[in-house]
Chain A
């Protein structure tokens, strides 16, 4: 029977082979192409508007992916994910502007705060299920929005105006682009890896049948809270990056709209896929940019699109689109 050391060695030595197969395989190839595409985009254009669109899309990808881990994989559908955006964003902004922290440390503490919020939120919503969880998280988000806008709390929370005039991460949009891209790649590698590990299976068991999971000896309380903390940490990362990119933050970041963005983007791309969140986020950002004249009813349009997608496909846009592309890929590789 192979012991631990032998199996580990097999894994490490087998990696180059595994990698080769993965690339030739459709999913790996597509991933590599996408990463290469994103990496080389600034070489195509240095126009800040287009770079900014991509940066926004990448930040939203991280946000949507974090939500997908919680909702798609653990079954906890939160309607208040913007809470993480906001808390992390405010901490990052506060440290950057008033305490002159380096942007990395400010971001780090923002993420740390999100982890703690995740702990708190996870604990508070332990007994809530389905619509009650959605409602509870939605309400907490709205409360945050109101509290942060309160005049009496202005000295600490900066009220309506929030914090503005943050120092730029860098004078070059291209640098910002690559920083965000690196964070996005790290995020997706980590989140996808998590879903493939044992803990991913445990999350899914909680999603599919909480009582059954408990009957299988799993401490569902512990894993629900862990899921909230992991999800929260990446949502917080998105929040910090968002704040730094906009160089400002206000209570509006807590509004339900941003929470809905996460849901729409993750669902667009396909729930419980993680990688779909990237597709959903980019689609969403591009479509809102193209239809900018319809901005006011954009949410309406997207809700309708979402309903259509849910009604007619079983896994968001990603799955059917990937089926077509996969056939194309096989043809290209001569199979």
Chain B
């Protein structure tokens, strides 16, 4: 299978606060991996470190064997990693089509999109996420769930090998969650490696075969959702001390 992402001893300190503390793990090519942890566990910071939005205090990140520690986000995107954000963002004054076109215009995205035409490629991505009928409208008209789909579409425009999804389910109704789940499963079946963080544990646990758990910036454990859910420390983190009795 091969390792697509290798994180080693990754640490990030903000002054006195250690947001990510000596975290190490591997992601295998084509995998579907989850990352869980209560609020403040350091999940988003970990994403930021992998994606280049923040520079680690120490440690390394290797993508496809190549050291990408400290590279700028746009360089990392053009190597094949894409991400979505916890707080949905979009290009407010552009049409949905143009929102996708932007990533199709990235150096990496262009290589693929040029063959069919930028607009055509953006269109087909919009169709893949189910938003093509609103292509000429601005994002302001979209409900939350569709905005999350748009974000995923934007990530797809860069033709990623590894997709980092930060809390893709948060704030969604049950139906919307199902829609996103279907989309993510389809992407994974197409060969994209998916690494997602979750807060809505039930959805995530049913979805991914392997999960990593974090708490207070530290790597706790990894394994199948069942194993991790029964882990003493994980239970303590979510439910407080003494809850290991529930295991």
Query: Is residue B221 contacting chain A, with contact meaning CB distance below 8 A?
Result: no
User: Does A142 make an interface contact (CB < 8 A)?
Assistant: no
Measured CA separation A212–B73 after assembly (Å): 10
Q: Which of B77, B102, B103 has the most CB of A within 10 A?
A: B102
Residues of chain A contacted by B89 (CB below 8 angstroms): 209, 211-212
How far does the alpha carbon of A216 sit from the alpha carbon of B110 in the complex, in Å? 11
Whether A233 sits at the interface, judged by CB under 8 Å, is no
| Contacting pair A201 B101 (CB below 8 A) | yes
Partner of A209, one of B74, B91, B98, B107: B91
Docked Cα-Cα span, A202 to B110, in Å, equals 13
Bound-state CA distance A217–B83 (Å) is 11
Interface string of A210-227 (1 = CB under 8 A from B): 011111111110000000
Counting CB contacts under 8 A, is A1 at the interface?
A: yes
State whether A215 touches B93 (Cβ < 8 A).
no
Which residues on the B side are within 8 Å of A211 (C-beta)? Answer: 53, 89
Determine whether the beta carbon of A216 is less than 8 Å from that of B158: yes
B74 close to A212 (CB less than 8 A): no
Q: How far is the CB of A11 from chain B (nearest CB, A)?
A: 12
B132: CB under 8 A from chain A?
no
Residue of B nearest to A3 (CB): B115
Cα distance, A214 to B103, chains bound together (Å): 9
B-side interface residues, number (CB < 8 Å): 33
Nearest chain A CB to B70's CB is how many angstroms away? 15
Q: Which of B149-170 contact A (CB under 8 A)?
A: 154-155, 157-158
B116 contacts the other chain (CB 8 A):
yes
B residues apposed to A, CB below 8 Å: 51, 53, 72-74, 77-78, 82-83, 85, 89-94, 98, 101-103, 105-109, 115-118, 154-155, 157-158
Q: A208-B91, A209-B90 are in contact. Are A216 and B116 (CB under 8 A)?
A: no
Contact in complex: A201, B94 (CB < 8 Å): yes
Residues of B near A218 (CB, < 8 A) are 74, 102, 105-106
Given A201-B101, A201-B102, A217 contacting B90 (CB threshold 8 A): no
User: Would B83 and A215 count as touching, CB distance under 8 A?
Assistant: yes
Q: Nearest Cβ in chain A — how far from B136, in angstroms?
A: 14
When the two chains form their complex, are residues A201 and B106 in contact, meaning their CB atoms are under 8 A apart? no
Residues of chain B with a CB closer than 8 A to A205's CB: 91, 94, 98, 102
Q: Which residues of A contact B157 (CB under 8 A)?
A: 216
Identify the 8 closest CB pairs spanning chains A and B, nearest first. A217-B106, A216-B103, A217-B77, A208-B91, A205-B102, A212-B89, A217-B158, A216-B102
Give me 23 A-to-B residue pairs in the complex whose CB atoms sit less than 8 angstroms apart, sorted by A's number: A1-B115, A201-B101, A201-B102, A208-B91, A208-B93, A209-B90, A209-B92, A211-B89, A212-B89, A214-B72, A215-B155, A216-B102, A216-B106, A216-B157, A217-B74, A217-B78, A217-B82, A218-B74, A218-B102, A218-B105, A219-B74, A220-B74, A272-B93
